Structure 1
Amino acid sequence: MNAGRRRFRHAACTGLALALPLAALAACGGSGGAEASAEAGSGKGTIRVWAHQGQKSEDAALQNAVKSFNSAQKDIKVQLRLIPANDYTKTITATDASQLPDVLEFDGPTMANFVYNKKLAPLDSYVSQGTLANATDANKAQGAIGGKHYGLGMYDSGLGVYGNKKLLDAAGVKYPTGLSDDWTAAQFTAALKALKAKDADGKVLDIQEGNGLATEWGTYGFAPVVWSAGGALLKDGKASGALDGPAAVSALKTFQSWKPYVDANTDGNAFAKRRVALSWVGHWMYPAYSAALGKDMVVLPLPDFGNGPKTGQGSWAWGIGADTKNAKAAGAFLDALLDDANVKAMTSANGAPPATRSALAKSPLYRKGGPLQLFAEQLAKPCGDTRITKSCVAVTRPLTAGYPTVTAQFSEALNSVYGGADPKDALSKAARAIDRDFSDNAGYQIP
């Protein structure tokens, strides 16, 4: 599975939550007490590193980075262990903090759970100030809790609407050129109607339904609809009044109204084979789509529901194990891993937007004038996870150890609404379940 679609197999308890009942989350909670603190150590010796096994090209890029680091100096030796992606987060969750490695990779939304369970330590004191300064603001937003950084990524992610210029022009649909002239939700709906009138079966939109809406794709792909309407998944640690507020309800009513225009895309080729004019998905589909459509393809932002266009962001990141006895060596390895050469190699392998300023500026795809410049522009306007204003665009999924419950309940509500349920009822049910779980776990407070 490609880098983008793997992104939706979250866990921590954070992904197990997508498949298990809420009661199963109890095994993942129960933190409290003082913050975990790594030992600095000598900065020399052998350190262990865990990472998820991804595409062969990604694995090779990481293995080459480790080999290069080990050969470039004699003080530190990195031992890399790759764990199959489907088992990776479950392995971290099931492993006692004392047995975790010095450096570990994790999927962004799982970070707060690992911090809550004292499996990650702040890395600010161990990576260089240059490494921190070079991280994009969106990258740092995903990796920070309480002003401390627990994770930094080599790459990020983003959403857009890919358009078939030939089909749009044939239907007389005027489309955006960027964030400044984005479609409103009403204009997007009008575009669907115009496209339908020129389409044999009336199915003109792909929303990657095959990924499943009651999964992390539902949250990553469509929480931006709520944020763009001025709603939120959580506000001040509560879902009631936010997730089921008027803005969110109105947004999902509009989303529900698009179903008659959606191609179920059971073969995964609705856009590439030109059956639909629009595909709502992320950066990871660019290689296949550009190869199929060539100059007929345009890249557009998601529609604006009133609070400005929004996109999801965040992906795999790196952190320091809370019980490491050699955090200096761990930090030195991260400094090397996040340099331009390694970030370029990794993002060339998976096509994702670089999560460092210098690599992003040089990226053929994402730099100014590049075909995916829009994704870089969106990431340059980060919201974090709480201050979702009209002027920011890239929103971090809620930084809470209770995220498993949030995403499970929101995506289930989204799927129910798509299937015809009343948006207010579905969102209120989800909000109540989230608030019950947060109450049962003292709000998942992180020291």
Structure 2
Amino acid sequence: MKSLKIVLFVLMSFILVIAAGCSSKSGGDSNSEGKKVVTFWDLRIDYEKEWTEKVIKEYNESQDEVVIEYKSINQSDYMTTALPVAFANNEGPDIFNISPGDFTKYAETGIMADLNPYFPEGAKEDFQEAAIDAVTIDGKVLALPYESELVGLYYNKKMLDDAGVEVPKTWEELMVAAEKLTTDEVSGLVLPQEKDAYLNFIFYPFLWQNGGSVLNEDGTESTFDSPETAEALDFWGSFFQKGYAPSQTPKGSSDIGNLGDGTAAMQVAGTWAIATIEADYSDLDIGVAPLPIPEGGQPKTVAGGWKLAVNANSDYVKEAAEFIMWVMAEDPSRPLEWATEAKFAYPARNSVIEAGKEIYNKGLRKVFTEEMYDTAIPEPFYGPEIVEAIGEGLQQVMFGNAKGTDVAKEVDAKIQEALDSKK
């Protein structure tokens, strides 16, 4: 079964490479009014989707040449099937959202267009240098960074109080709390279950807290086979093995509605959850805290954030690029509204952060700003083989009762093989 999964993944990557070299079918010639139709896919829900629809409507009405056609897909399908299958079939959208975990895969296949020619004058300099560097390969800016999302531990205060549980600060306390809070109707702790980039994203801070790592500093050697990594894998997997974390959730594992609807007592999620909590679950007393750390470990969280990319094989690269620049690289009020009203995130532009500095110290946002912002490490950009190997290893400790030491060794060998193949 493992071999079959690897073969299928390799075949998919090969198909993506072929697709990258073909002319794109994305975008129609025009709509009934003679405008160019530019397709845009993402994975937004609730208020994020509503905000995106509002901005697209505003853009469509602001000019007479382009119509943006928008499609929002649930997170799991978007990342694992919808986007890769669309590109494999030469039917990828003109504009799409890409995560750091998948960035390298699409960059290596040449699917993302260089955005350098489309930055408004002076706009590129307003973006944080690290954010631009992270999406730049061989001098080409292959995606537009617009947010940084941190991860913390959300919890239902009443459920913790009723169970006599303090907000956990250590790994041991988190395990004990999850056990006490788990009932036939309530999961003690929601963690991601699907094998995708989001699973790795949420796992990384637990790995880092314990002193584990994936690669050495220059990225040439795997460091995954270590006692620290094995311990982090065992800790992560034990929540599923003991039944404290569900193997499935009524909502996606990134949706804070699991906590809001009362089917979970605690959930590891990101800053994006705050807007939904304030809008839909304001009657509940929900708190957030830094991720618990192991004995002797260091506080760490991860800073992720989706990027906007343009299909390099689109008939409408210029039109697509101009739209995403209009949304996130021009008037700072739009990215500020996105980062503070549609959701909560830290913008990638210095002027936007300055404009919204008061907002970042209100309510649950203050916990992230004061207690987690300085402990955040940017989500790493690994190649698809490395992402796949780590995700497969996590699935083994979660659902295969595998031991961390065995998994760390196996994943380490796969990572090293991937690195050696590129030398």
TM-score of the superposed pair, with normalisation by structure 1: 0.68
Match of 2:101 among 99, 109, 112: 109
- 1:8-407 maps to which residues of 2 (within 5 A)? 20-29=8-17, 49-52=38-41, 54-55=44-45, 58=48, 61-62=51-52, 64-69=54-59, 72=62, 77-83=65-71, 85=73, 86=78, 87-95=82-90, 101=94, 105-128=97-120, 130-136=122-128, 139-140=131-132, 142-145=134-137, 148-169=140-161, 175=167, 183=169, 187-193=170-176, 196=179, 205-208=188-191, 211-235=192-216, 236-237=218-219, 240=222, 242-259=223-240, 260=242, 262-264=244-246, 266-267=249-250, 271-272=259-260, 277-286=265-274, 289=277, 291-292=280-281, 294=283, 296-305=285-294, 306-315=297-306, 317-322=307-312, 332-338=322-328, 339-344=331-336, 346=338, 350-353=342-345, 355-357=347-349, 358-360=351-353, 367-375=360-368, 381=374, 392-398=375-381, 400=382, 402-403=383-384, 405-407=385-387
Q: 1:192–1:204: 8 Å Cα contact kept in structure 2?
A: no
CA distance in 2, matches of 1:263, 1:118: 38
Q: Kindly provide the amino acid, as one letter, of the partner of residue 412 in structure 2.
A: A
CA distance in 1, matches of 2:152, 2:6: 24
| Secondary structure of the corresponding residue to residue 397 of structure 1 | coil
CA distance in 2, matches of 1:205, 1:193: 10
Match of 1:418 among 398, 403, 411: 398
- More relative contact order in 1 or in 2 (CA 8 Å, sep 6+)? 1
Identity of aligned pairs, percent?
Answer: 19
Structure 1 gap ranges (5+)? 1-16, 33-45, 177-182, 382-391
CA distance in 2, matches of 1:206, 1:196: 9
Equivalent residue number for residue 3 of structure 1: none
Assess, with a 3 A threshold, how the Cα gap between structure 1 residues 81 and 196 changes in structure 2: closer, same or farther: closer
| Secondary structure of the corresponding residue to residue 40 of structure 2 | strand
CA distance in 2, matches of 1:81, 1:146: 31
| Secondary structure of the corresponding residue to residue 13 of structure 2 | helix
Once the two structures are overlaid, the 10-residue window that deviates more, 246-255 or 166-175, is 166-175
Assess, with a 3 A threshold, how the Cα gap between structure 1 residues 206 and 20 changes in structure 2: closer, same or farther: farther
Q: Kindly provide the amino acid, as one letter, of the partner of residue 108 in structure 2.
A: Y
Q: Kindly provide the amino acid, as one letter, of the partner of residue 337 in structure 1.
A: V
Deviation at 1:127, TM superposition (A): 0.5
Deviation at 1:52, TM superposition (A): 0.5
| Secondary structure of the corresponding residue to residue 300 of structure 2 | coil
Assess, with a 3 A threshold, how the Cα gap between structure 1 residues 196 and 137 changes in structure 2: closer, same or farther: farther
Equivalent residue number for residue 38 of structure 1: none
Deviation at 1:68, TM superposition (A): 3.8
| Secondary structure of the corresponding residue to residue 373 of structure 1 | helix
Structure 2 gap ranges (5+)? 21-34, 252-256
CA distance in 2, matches of 1:191, 1:58: 30
Q: 1:160–1:311: 8 Å Cα contact kept in structure 2?
A: no
Q: 1:263–1:270: 8 Å Cα contact kept in structure 2?
A: no
Deviation at 1:189, TM superposition (A): 1.2
| Alignment deviations for residues 79-101 of structure 1 (CA, whole Å, 9 cap, x no partner) | 424356343343234439xx984
CA distance in 1, matches of 2:181, 2:368: 30
Deviation at 1:348, TM superposition (A): 6.8
Q: 1:100–1:323: 8 Å Cα contact kept in structure 2?
A: no
CA distance in 1, matches of 2:131, 2:363: 20
Task: Give the aligned length.
Answer: 384
Assess, with a 3 A threshold, how the Cα gap between structure 1 residues 59 and 221 changes in structure 2: closer, same or farther: closer
CA distance in 2, matches of 1:112, 1:204: 34
CA distance in 2, matches of 1:342, 1:194: 40
- RMSD across aligned positions (CA): 4.4
| Alignment deviations for residues 121-143 of structure 1 (CA, whole Å, 9 cap, x no partner) | 43234313643344356744653
